[in-house]
Amino acid sequence: MGKGGTGKTTISSALARALSSKGKGVLAVSLDPAHNLGDVLGCPLSSEPQKIDDRLTAFELDLDEQVQRFVEEKLRQMRPFYGNLQIFNADKLLETIKQSPGMEEFAVLEAIREISTFAEKCDAVVLDTPPTGMTVRVLSLPDITLIWIAELMKLRSKILDRRAYIQNIEGSDVETNPSNDPVMAELCRYKSEIESTKNFLLGEDSFIFLVLQADKLSVSETERTIKKLDSNGYVITACFINRASKVERRNFLYDSCGLSNLMKLYDKIPWIELPDLGRDISDPENLLILGDIICNFLDAGDAR
């Protein structure tokens, strides 16, 4: 994660290249609508997984396509329960729903859920995320959604209770048992999906790397991101200071942009300096140099 332009895609590509070179089966995915993963990996990518080499597969999420699929799937799930959707022409509202606030974030979360189902087939999944604003909203969605589902389940229980009351009076045969209620079953299914996605993002095998550079805007956004992620229960594995300055300029630059204070404030987070290689980083050899630095940090056991 990180502010736009800090080097998230380069670092994602470097990590994916390094892991695959060590014999790991890797899936690299760009979730950023402004894709550059294929450019850095040196291979044109689409929304379909594509082999980069024997052990590295990658694709770039088509956000518009993902939103379309997400909305259509939710409408499909609703139709069996609510016949009056046809009365209200819900299908004709599809374009409006697609533009509704939060749809892109929910679509990205759904993409992460789909990716998580393939995680067991890989040794590592590397997610190149959108800039922090959108990513933080996506990461906050599981908790928010679980709260909504809990409230909807309470509401559905009340509806079933009212039905049971009416049934006792009129002797109707309307289903009132929550265990047999299709709407409650659908809510339970969706709850299980969200919990599984949350476990994928928060599990002990998951790592969050923040990427920043030594400038005031990047440092300020990193501080806000650390606070927001902490409030949502996410543990930051490390902060990567990309294109780190040479030693003689380091102290002055870090002091002037506030990075020195931020590192002291969050001294329990590992701060890893990644060098500016000063040449075409998209070259596989240069990606491996950068990726090996990250892998060495992980191999040292400092990630947890």
Distance CA 49, CA 53 (A): 12
Tell me what pLDDT residue 304 has.
44
CA nearest to 238, candidates 268, 214, 271, 213: 271
Q: Determine the straight-line distance between the first and last CA of the chain, rounded to whole angstroms.
A: 18
pTM for this prediction: 0.86
For 27-37, give one letter per residue: b (16+ CB within 10 A) or e. Answer: bbbbbbbebbb
Q: Give CA torsion, residues 4, 7, 9, 15, to 10 deg.
A: -150
CA nearest to 225, candidates 266, 169, 275, 280: 266
* Secondary structure of 96-143 in HEC code, one letter for each residue: HHHCCCCHHHHHHHHHHHHHHHCHHHCCEEEEECCCHHHHHHHHHHHH
Report the DSSP beta bridge partners of residue 272: 240
> Taking every pair of C-alpha atoms in the chain, what is the biggest distance, in angstroms?
86
Contact (CB, 8 A) for 204 and 303: no
Q: Is the dihedral of CA 79, 84, 89, 90 positive or negative?
A: negative
At 63, the amino acid letter reads L
CA nearest to 131, candidates 262, 8, 297: 8
Tell me what pLDDT residue 242 has.
92
Residues comprising the chain, all counted: 304
Tell me what pLDDT residue 175 has.
55
Tell me what pLDDT residue 171 has.
58
Spell out the domain ranges in the chain: 8-299
DSSP 84: G
Under CATH, domain 8-299 is a member of which superfamily?
P-loop containing nucleotide triphosphate hydrolases (3.40.50.300)
Distance CA 302, CA 280 (A): 29
Report the DSSP beta bridge partners of residue 239: 210, 271
For 130-163, give one letter per residue: b (16+ CB within 10 A) or e. Answer: bbbebbbbbbbbbeebeeebeeebeebeeebeeb
Number of C-beta neighbours around residue 167 at 10 A = 14
Mean pLDDT, the chain, rounded, equals 87
Distance CA 170, CA 12 (A): 63
Task: Burial-class residue 84 by CB neighbours within 10 Å (0-12, 13-18, 19+).
Answer: exposed
Q: DSSP strand E in the chain: where?
A: 26-30, 50-51, 56-60, 124-128, 209-212, 238-244, 271-275
For the chain, residues with pLDDT lower than 70 are 81-95, 98, 169-178, 278-282, 301-304
